[in-house]
Chains A and B, each alone.
Chain A
Amino acid sequence: MTNVSGYFFAQLKRALKLAPAQFLADFLICVCAGVLVYLLVAQGAAEAGGTKYRIGMVGDLSDSYLGFGIAALQEMDDSRFMIELVGMPEEEAEDALARGELYAVMRVPDDLMEAVVSGENDSLITYTAAEGQRGLGTMVMGEITEIASTLVTSSQSAIFAMQRVLLDRGRGEELGRATDRLNLSLINLVLSRSGFGEVEILGYADGLSMELYYFCSAFLLFLLLSGLLNCAFFVRRSTALTQFLKARGVGASCQIAGEYLAYLCLVCMGLISLSLPVALLLERGMFGIPEWEGMGAYPFWGFLRTLLPVIFMFAALQFFLFEAAEGIVNGILLQFLCGIGMGYLAGYFYPAAFFPERMQTVGGILPAGAAARYVEEGLSGHARAASLVAVFAYFTLFFALAVLARKKRIGRE
């Protein structure tokens, strides 16, 4: 009489024989995925770097202080990655604006410097955008122009006032050095404007940083698609063996239990093989996850513990899909479609918060969404029993469905 443990150990032996090839597949796929992601990110960054708002500057740019300010903005300020200031004649700028080659035109009035020298603030730089540009960007640019204009006129007024005071007091020899110092102070004031306000980042899904969110999503996606990596486990399964086992007293539920446990071991071995290099990289601070900064790989082991119920559930899901599908090819296709579809809706590729509300609701109900919610809650320290119950409910459902599918297969001719 065959017993469940005997069958489990036979399946485990089988899984161990398959493991080296599976690890190699895991490694190659992870390397390929890593290279692909790196190239995509690099390409995206390059494209983003190449996409600048071209702003034409027209009018009297001859003043050395104004030229110095523009040069400072173009060479030293963070805005250089986003905005390109191009000096050009007014007509040419208007034509370029009409053709869409310029995003906007900043007009420096001819009497700007005279107005500044005389301490007047009436003559400001004006900003002209193309018709139809009524978006947030245009509004922000308008505001920036106004601020820049005020800063330029105010700072220039301050410089000239300071120069006049020094000359009146007979300290002309200090003029150059004092002007430089005031200029630098004003430039510092402009360039360090990021300190003007406090930026609060809410984060994604229970307040996780973008880095931790994607780190967590990458692991969940790996687990969700591990059925594809471990598909060799489901190849060459014979109906004769299931019937033989049934005759030996090992029913459908015991067969599934024995096979499932062995499969679970294979999935865990794959996860460990992936986790070791990840832990090494975390120790070296390669991922830049703010929540785990300075803690090395320690929080990662806690993260893996949190993943355990999800591993059980995803393995049961994969088991059910392969059991329900007719043949290995159909099984692989089913795994792929379910994995990608559910992963997308659950926010493994883009944060779910970006999706419409209905999609978010559907994504949250799906097994992948339930898993993501449970893990994210665990990581943010807001773990709820309901999320864990949902994961175990799905696990039970998939296990039961796999048993039913096996019963059907045993009864087949």
Chain B
Amino acid sequence: MRISVGVGVKGIKKAYKGKPVLIDATFAANPGKCVGIVGSNGSGKSTLLSILAGVRKADGGDFLCEDVDLLRCPGMIPRVIGYVPQGEPLMEELTAWDNLCMCCDKRAVKKSLSDGALRLLGVDGFLKVPVRHMSGGMKKRLSIGCSVVSNPKILLLDEPSAALDPVCKENIRRYLEAYKREGGIVVMATHDAQDLELCDDCYILKDGILQAYSYDGDFHKLAEALM
């Protein structure tokens, strides 16, 4: 079990040049659960995740984890959260191994490769390959690997399946299921129906307001709700 209690996001606010992007965004997630955030392009999904990852500052609100407001203790965030941004946070000239060693000490990387997340993601198969020679799927798996190599309690994923082939999607889905089983909390922004199947709770972000949505597998209905 990675975490004993859940996390709570309460009243997150954010505005760009006076225009509100997030208005009192609130949700909760328990250990072993996955929360999906759906919204049209530019709706503020990435902004919400980047605020929770400590990359951007919120105008207000709390992000509670084990009775600590992470937004007020940003030094705690790297210990608790793994963040996978939309692009690939990798150095193109370096190998997978070099990129992993940048994120964590070598012993932890080796351990994870032998029996941990990196093995599940299949990163051990292309350790010596420079990033610039990797496929999109390999890069995405390595990006996730870089985020989870230090065993975070909460994983924030920004559109993890965008532009990936079905095999790679399945590979990532299997890993996320395993991560959940171990008690990790996943929060992902997505447009992908397959990703949503993995989610225990679904939220729609529209006009800056985050509201719960009961996803029943009907993607057309979801698209209509977003319009």
Residues in A lying within 8 Å of B, measured CB to CB: 1-2, 6-7, 9-11, 13-14, 17-18, 236, 238-241, 243-249, 410-411, 413
Contacts and interface: CB of A to CB of B under 8 A. Distances in A.
B59 interface: no
Interface stretch (B4-12, B79-87, B185-193, B216-224): B79-87
B103 A17 contact: no
Nearest to B82: A247
B32 to A, nearest CB: 22
Nearest to B103: A2
Contacts, number: 83
Nearest to B42: A413
Nearest to B74: A249
Interface residues of B, number: 36
Contacts of A17: 93-94
A241 B55 contact: no
Given A10-B101, A238-B89, 20 more contacts: A1-B78, A6-B102, A7-B102, A10-B94, A13-B94, A18-B93, A240-B87, A241-B87, A241-B90, A243-B55, A243-B89, A244-B83, A244-B85, A244-B89, A244-B146, A246-B55, A247-B53, A247-B85, A249-B77, A413-B46
Nearest to B87: A240
B92 interface: yes
A233 to B, nearest CB: 10
Q: Which 9 A-B pairs have the closest CB atoms?
A: A240-B87, A244-B89, A249-B78, A247-B83, A10-B102, A247-B53, A240-B85, A241-B89, A240-B89
A372 to B, nearest CB: 35
Contacts of B56: 411
Contacts of A246: 53-55
A248 B87 CA distance: 16
B161 interface: no
A65 to B, nearest CB: 80
Q: Which of A236, A240, A245 has the most CB of B within 10 A?
A: A240
B207 interface: no
13 contacts: A2-B102, A7-B102, A10-B94, A10-B99, A17-B93, A239-B87, A240-B88, A241-B90, A243-B55, A244-B83, A245-B89, A248-B103, A411-B55
Contacts of A245: 89
Residue in A10, A18, A239, A241 with the greatest tally of chain B CB atoms within 10 Å:
A241
Interface in B95-114: 98-99, 101-105
A152 to B, nearest CB: 77
A2 B78 contact: yes
B78 A410 contact: no
A405 B46 CA distance: 21
A301 to B, nearest CB: 33
B204 to A, nearest CB: 20
A249 B82 CA distance: 11
Nearest to B52: A247
A239 B105 CA distance: 24
Given A13-B94, A238-B87, A241-B90, A247 B101 contact: no
Nearest to B79: A1
A249 to B, nearest CB: 4
B91 interface: yes
A413 B90 contact: no
Nearest to B54: A247
A249 B150 CA distance: 13
Contacts of B55: 243, 246-247, 410-411
B75 interface: yes
Nearest to A235: B92
A14 B87 CA distance: 20
Nearest to A240: B87
Nearest to B57: A411
B77 A10 contact: no
Given A238-B87, A411-B56, A247 B78 contact: yes
Contacts of B92: 236
A411 B89 CA distance: 15
Contacts of B75: 249
B26 interface: no
B89 A14 contact: no
A17 B51 CA distance: 35
Interface string B26-67: 000000000000000000001100100111100000000000
Contacts of A2: 78, 102-104
A14 B94 contact: yes
Contacts of A9: 102
A14 B93 CA distance: 6
A241 to B, nearest CB: 4
B76 to A, nearest CB: 10
B102 A244 contact: no
A6 B50 CA distance: 23
Contacts of B87: 238-241
Among B83, B102, B104, B150, find the residue whose CB has the most chain A CB atoms closer than 10 A: B102
A247 to B, nearest CB: 4
B40 to A, nearest CB: 14
A238 B88 contact: yes
B91 A10 contact: yes
A248 B99 CA distance: 13
